[in-house]
Structure 1
Amino acid sequence: MTETALAFVMGAVSALFPVINVELYLMGMGALGGGVLFAMAVAAGIGQTLAKVVYFYLGRGALNIPWLKRRAETPSKWAERAERWRAKAEGRPLWTMGLVGVSSFSSIPPFMVVAVLAGTLRMPLLSFVVVTFVTRTARFAALVYAPGVAMGLL
């Protein structure tokens, strides 16, 4: 499997199972170098975006996947905050897109929670996909090039 295809798979799987870390994989590949780093960032961005659509549709109530529902409904320290974000975002599409973008790029608040929230708020799917793809790809590009930049500074 090529590095780009593996980045896509890692991106998709890590989006569904957060214990798998695509960021570490991309940074490791960046440390090894190679000419396909940006392609890997794009592939991981596509994989993450497609997989996060599952959480988006879970928020819309369109999917009935028991283990995903349990993850989305499990009370946590973020549950109260998620309710406040929902209240702020309701009826404010630009605020919602901003929240999705910030969360997608920084993972604060956790993007899995925000993806469910975006679905709950009926954010247009196209807006969710575009914002998610652009910000996730930017995040992954920064990470895949970080080792080379760090080595260049030494």
Structure 2
Amino acid sequence: MISIELFAIGLVLKGPEIPWWLLALVIATGQIGGKLLHYYAARGSIRLPPFLRRKSANERTGRWREYLEKFRANCHRRPVWTGAVLLISAASSLPPFAAVAVIAGWAKVPLVTFLVTGFVGRFVRFGALAIAPGIVIGWL
């Protein structure tokens, strides 16, 4: 596994003629495509292999489950809040966007909300990363 952030910065430094927006567009598209698999798996649309599934229904209790149920209810009651959490996570990775993609699928966040906010956040993140080396070099 490699860090896509380091790859993007290395690519910009190696090939500065690549437009920043094109690099951000390609990476954001790939990232959302990958996270979409997480989203659908958590939603139950993709059947996971047996070793990734829960063994029994008894494991579905506890504080963590209660927290997730509250989160699911909040997602349905407050769609703007849901979009903001997704957008912030996609742009900053706080909380990690991979985890948020799974939770969004489990909470049955509308697909359009997930795709739009995730793509915009990822585009902003990787656009900023693609522009950063040029800004730093310009200062020097």
Query: Is the shorter-chain TM-score for this pair beyond 0.5, marking a shared fold?
Result: yes
Distance 2:5 2:29 in 1: 14
Q: Match of 1:147?
A: 133
Q: Does structure 2 conserve the Cα–Cα contact (< 8 Å) formed by 1:58 and 1:64? A: yes
Q: Match of 1:52?
A: 35
Q: Select the residue among 110, 118, 121 that pairs with 2:104.
A: 118
RMSD, matched Cα:
2.4
Distance 2:84 2:50 in 1: 28
Q: Does structure 1 conserve the Cα–Cα contact (< 8 Å) formed by 2:75 and 2:109? A: no
**1:85–1:151: structure 2 CA closer, same or farther, 3 Å change rule?**
farther
TM-score after normalising by structure 1: 0.73
> Which aligned pairs between 1:2-151 and structure 2 lie closer than 5 A?
19-32=1-14, 33-66=16-49, 69=52, 80=64, 84=67, 87-88=70-71, 89-91=74-76, 92-151=78-137
Between the aligned residues of both structures, percent identity stands at: 35
* Aligned-residue offset at 1:37: 2.6
Q: Which runs of 4+ in 1 moved over 6 A?
A: none
Which has the higher Rg, Structure 1 or Structure 2? 2
Aligned residues: 127
Q: What are the ranges of 5 or more consecutive residues in structure 1 without an aligned counterpart?
A: 1-18, 71-78
Q: What are the ranges of 5 or more consecutive residues in structure 2 without an aligned counterpart?
A: 54-62
**1:83–1:95: structure 2 CA closer, same or farther, 3 Å change rule?**
farther
TM-score after normalising by structure 2: 0.79
Distance 1:151 1:93 in 2: 41
Q: Which fold has the larger relative contact order, with Cα–Cα distance below 8 Å and residues 6 or more apart in sequence?
A: 2
* Aligned-residue offset at 1:68: 9.4
Q: Match of 2:57?
A: none
